[in-house]
Structure 1
């Protein structure tokens, strides 16, 4: 029976809302109590959070520091109606199961493109990473609902927009050192160097490492530790009073040993793990001497090492010309990503399946131009265009190991090729967009905009499947669309706005090249469309000591792209069935509420809550590991009904120039289904581990600080709540596996100069 939020949870929410808060910035005891004015650029111009007719959660540099936000998991946990499935590596590139994000229940259920966009300084980095290192950040903005007018592709569910700190005229910097559980450490530093009033540089970097939370009990030893290296160099050039040129080079190198997955002993029948276990493994699950999850949360036995490497280089040039009434903006970006994985693949002590290598190189280039008015008149406008090219080149080799039972079952020899494949994909995109805003009266503002988009996809594949060479395939096609957005905003006063908006989200179609038999023809799947209807209110009151935002929405999602994969033994031959269908329809509706308060200069309080009712309206003949099922009426994956977060910080004076602080943070996610296979399993009564359990997490911090130094001790998941947020359905002899939660604690010190 699926758990619902009940009376105990409601009581907890009331208590938390009365005594805790979210991301409210700290005010000094010497200042009048007032919340910091948050400036965002969701509509390609600087506006206060209250004036933007979009449901937004924004984190300033101060709240990023106070919340100790380092990864996408951290800020997704602190915002309503956002869900994340933890990846087995930080990059999220280890498999299609990794770092599954959902905004308002809309996630990347299938297809070639993601349903959400990641932008750094207006450049789309989604093809490279969905979890960039958050070093020297000025702001994080999470925009819910379609953002196609300004952000285009990958923006149908919403956008995560990151803004870095730019070089300035001050000689300043900082360095932080942190050490914690599992021999986890990191050093982060930033320096800002002005050469003149026309030329400034800023450099930031990070090195980090850990032994990892899990231990390998196989004789080869090892753990799931990691090593990370990151660096960014930025230059700001001011040739005249009108021109601003920002140039940035970013380098990231992440390496992880093993994945730290803990086996559950549960199988999806039609998945490769369930299939191999049913016909080949002598015992399933095999490695049971130290137990399986949830009794065991940190031990595994892998007979081969596993190494995952992920690195990228990114270069951007943002050029702005500001005239008296016009602004011209050019955004140029290029990114190159190299991903490598090899070693253990069956996730057990039996030598069943190994990966010789998986190498993926991805590139993304885009050029965007924008021209917009900046005068104080009643009508303002923006027009622009973008051209982009993304490439994806992949080669992968998977083979049987040396386990004799497996080899005898299939009548094959050691290192028999299961799959040797190459995939080359190119996506060329073009778009034109325009939006106009009319101040119809002193209180009423009307906005209308649209974006024309065109995606051309070229795809080719070669494949050896179980030692059989399949015919090479290639195909191309083009999809295009016009996505409008219409908004009305009404200001009741200087501190309260209401708005209503209708916006379309679009994701282009794609090409299926996977073969079910050698004679099958290339087939394609259609584009995916959704419509978002939203009303909301944003307000500040009590002399800007309280901020409250509420949004209600409904999303109609049609032609949903859904990945499907099965392994079938037919007439003595093993073959795979993979592809994307898009006949499903879904609806998501609910609300987001955000409250921040500063009752005294020392105490920051607030509360966030989101509610989702997100279901498949029509999903007959869904291909799952349990066979074809009718999933109509079932809950969408990664769509918890309730998401709640809160935190509180209290500052108190110590002596001259120093103050202490204590902080508590809370987050809650209702239970949810992980993917389509999980939905099918739960429907048939097999919930564990595909029904992600509800969980509550408490974090605590305490520290001291002044203008030059900050020292904080912390504990994450203080009550050691045992939960997980993702399920990996490979695992072979040990079944599906999870990324378990764990408690960690440590200390972090920061020194500032020039501050």
Structure 2
């Protein structure tokens, strides 16, 4: 296994190195475009920034058909993004092995910051953003605790919108694809309105997008293809206004709105247990328990009465994707609605620039129902103590002293109660709003660049989550364990060995958060080094306040409301040095810290006799990084690389649990871990000829859990270190991407042919930390992904004052049916998960004038 992994790494390294090697022949005078980024709160050339940053241009966004944040996966080294489970907008982002939480609760913050035009997006469930009228996307890897703040321990992704144009113009496109897909979008720039002054005036633009497609898996219980799993119907609109007050001041306002309706991806049953307790494990000579007793889904499936034709044949657990047919009886509509406003005021005082960024965002999510067992509607016996002996012969009932003789005939002839409750289904209503205000003051001289600022943030969120679960009980075990010599007789006469314990519960709570911070960063360039050396130091002090109020966590509202409140504060800092060895090669080194705020888990219970919910503490990371950025052969070859070591403390461990007291299925959070991350990254581009170029990236990371105090000991109360059994969550140790690009001028209306073929590899990802709390963790590990995409089109076709384009595209051309995300209902005795989209393809036409 290890040798195979090293083999893949060697092949990826060879592919990356080839970008520089094959680019050595003599070149014509054509060079790579300069890439501008704002990763340090000022406009800079990417090659001059002493940070690991990837920038994705508007042209590439359009060419690759990037519609949401999830489409960015693999386009930067050590960066992967997967979709949510029941939520249409959720995205689990992993940067350098540090992943945002997969749970969509309001109690825990993200580890990787998402920003739109400088406005922080707080919730991971709202990270699956629609992209509309973007200038570029910047992916910052490594802790960004100074300039971007808390909750960026892995890194940050920044979406930067286009400003309205000074000239009137229209840009529109329309496309079709398989699975009934079609989309249309357009942008109107209304030009500058105002006097004829060179600067003063108002510019505005309006963009609209509609996208829809049918589902990609056939739910045989749903006749309408537009309601099959994976179906989407999305409308987005964006208005932008830029007021140039004079040549020193401007005011920019952006409003965006997006709504998506559809169906979540299909949950497929992949594994099921035959009941019983899992054996204890041993770590460092200490025995500790694993998860509680598992249910008996395999037996229940064999005994159940399937009420819909065709579902019995689709009920067996299967790791291969059921792309053609699946049974989901509780697959309801899901909707996400996002509204945002941002206002940016900029004033240049000559020796300093003031920038004010005000943001407000609102997110509403409704999941009408989610089928999380994939079985269709099944009828099975329901368990209760009152009906345990129903259907038993009187000859056995006479030995039960608690049953009077007069009742024995009635009980012997009484039918078994039944239920149609499957393994697990849920619905959810979430509402969230946030407000942020940031002030920055920056300036620069020949020897000093500086920025200082202050930040304020407040958010409120509510969630109401009804859950229905079915624990399958093997009642034969009850008879054998409790009725001595009569046990075998009861087992032989048992009319229903497997019976379902039905629990209907609700988790209902609200959460509030407030954050304040001040920061500063200063870059000094000594004149004695001819401005080749830069020394940077920065720091940020943050104070956070978290509150959680819980109204229900079980079958009935709480008699006394549970509350939790805590404060967290942290000083984070970074020190960087950059040195220009030549005009072609820049070296840099960086030490940076970051922290993720602590919080509360809505599923946690107060201590006995208390109504106060305990919380978890903040996480901290110290990152050491060194790298170089280079351009060779008249800027025809660009090669950047970095190596890093992250020391992570107080890692918050997230484990799935089924609470027997409340009946809710949720998670447990606790600070249990100490982890070390060691990795490297390579990015490159090369113009082989004036027409042909290649680009790609490679990322590798080794994650070493030094300590993870998460085991429950059999004897004693102190947690047990289970680091030896732990795997990193939602992380691909090895990722790489390689693309070949061709462009050729055509002798037809000034048009140009462009083609691209891209290949991306991502190692399979674990969905949970270990098999101790998640018994099926190994079985539901994600597949290695090898994805081939391609685009070919004719662009800039001149039609007398307007230009047109036509493009043909395909994604996942090899039609890989990769398993990408697992869900472990271990206490209920089963697991399943989600598969990637199949091959999709289509055509897009565009016009601009």
Same-fold call, TM > 0.5?
yes
**Aligned match of 2:813:** 718
Moved more, 729-738 or 402-411: 402-411
Asked if 2 retains the 8 angstrom alpha-carbon contact of 1:622 and 1:631, the reply is no
**Aligned match of 1:322:** 348
Asked if 2 retains the 8 angstrom alpha-carbon contact of 1:652 and 1:661, the reply is yes
Distance 1:282 1:156, change over 3 A: same
Query: Residue deviations 1:41-84, cap 9 Å, x none?
Result: 00000000011111011111122223322222322222111122
Distance 1:218 1:444, change over 3 A: same
Pair member with larger Rg: 2
The structural deviation recorded for 1:569 is: 5.0
Do residues 385 (structure 1) and 412 (structure 2) align?
no
Do residues 256 (structure 1) and 262 (structure 2) align?
yes
Task: Tell me which of the two structures has the higher relative contact order, counting C-alpha pairs closer than 8 angstroms and 6 or more residues apart.
Answer: 1
Asked if 2 retains the 8 angstrom alpha-carbon contact of 1:615 and 1:633, the reply is no
Specify the SS of the correspondent of 2:47.
helix
**Aligned match of 1:96:** none
Partner Cα separation in structure 2 for residue 553 and residue 400 of structure 1:
44
**Aligned match of 2:14:** 14
Partner Cα separation in structure 2 for residue 273 and residue 176 of structure 1:
56
The structural deviation recorded for 1:15 is: 5.0
**Aligned match of 1:105:** 97
The structural deviation recorded for 1:107 is: 1.4
Partner Cα separation in structure 1 for residue 59 and residue 321 of structure 2:
40
Partner Cα separation in structure 2 for residue 535 and residue 259 of structure 1:
40
**Aligned match of 2:509:** 423
Do residues 126 (structure 1) and 195 (structure 2) align?
no
User: Please, which runs of 5 or more residues in structure 1 have no aligned partner?
Assistant: 94-98
The structural deviation recorded for 1:484 is: 0.6
Asked if 2 retains the 8 angstrom alpha-carbon contact of 1:327 and 1:371, the reply is yes
**Aligned match of 1:591:** 680
Moved more, 488-497 or 362-371: 488-497
Partner Cα separation in structure 2 for residue 530 and residue 32 of structure 1:
45
**Aligned match of 2:746:** 654
The structural deviation recorded for 1:320 is: 0.4
The structural deviation recorded for 1:744 is: 1.1
Do residues 471 (structure 1) and 560 (structure 2) align?
yes
Query: Residue deviations 1:283-323, cap 9 Å, x none?
Result: 59985614633152342212234111110110000110012
Q: How does 1:691-730 map to 2 (within 5 A)?
A: 691-706=781-796, 708-730=803-825
Asked if 2 retains the 8 angstrom alpha-carbon contact of 1:217 and 1:299, the reply is yes
Do residues 515 (structure 1) and 605 (structure 2) align?
yes
The structural deviation recorded for 1:217 is: 1.3
Q: 1:436 aligns with which of 515, 522, 532?
A: 522
Asked if 2 retains the 8 angstrom alpha-carbon contact of 1:371 and 1:384, the reply is yes
The structural deviation recorded for 1:417 is: 6.2
Q: How does 1:231-380 map to 2 (within 5 A)?
A: 231-266=237-272, 275=295, 277=297, 289-290=313-314, 292-294=318-320, 296-347=322-373, 348-350=375-377, 351-352=420-421, 357-374=427-444, 376-380=445-449
**Aligned match of 2:584:** 495
Distance 1:734 1:220, change over 3 A: farther
Asked if 2 retains the 8 angstrom alpha-carbon contact of 1:727 and 1:739, the reply is no
| TM-score, normalisation: structure 2 | 0.80
Specify the SS of the correspondent of 1:674.
coil
Do residues 397 (structure 1) and 466 (structure 2) align?
yes
Q: How does 1:481-630 map to 2 (within 5 A)?
A: 481-512=570-601, 514-515=604-605, 519=609, 522-567=613-658, 578-622=667-711, 630=722
Moved more, 479-488 or 636-645: 636-645
Partner Cα separation in structure 2 for residue 121 and residue 273 of structure 1:
49
Partner Cα separation in structure 2 for residue 637 and residue 240 of structure 1:
51
Q: 2:844 aligns with which of 748, 751, 754?
A: 748
Moved more, 531-540 or 188-197: 188-197
Partner Cα separation in structure 2 for residue 549 and residue 328 of structure 1:
33
Partner Cα separation in structure 2 for residue 171 and residue 529 of structure 1:
49
Partner Cα separation in structure 2 for residue 363 and residue 122 of structure 1:
17
Specify the SS of the correspondent of 2:709.
coil
Specify the SS of the correspondent of 2:147.
helix
Query: Residue deviations 1:531-576, cap 9 Å, x none?
Result: 0100110111211111110101000000001123322658xx9676
The structural deviation recorded for 1:408 is: 11
Partner Cα separation in structure 2 for residue 552 and residue 633 of structure 1:
27
RMSD (CA atoms): 3.4
Q: How does 1:180-195 map to 2 (within 5 A)?
A: 180-194=177-191, 195=193
Asked if 1 retains the 8 angstrom alpha-carbon contact of 2:145 and 2:153, the reply is yes
Q: Count residues in correspondence.
A: 730
Distance 1:343 1:628, change over 3 A: farther
Distance 1:59 1:700, change over 3 A: same
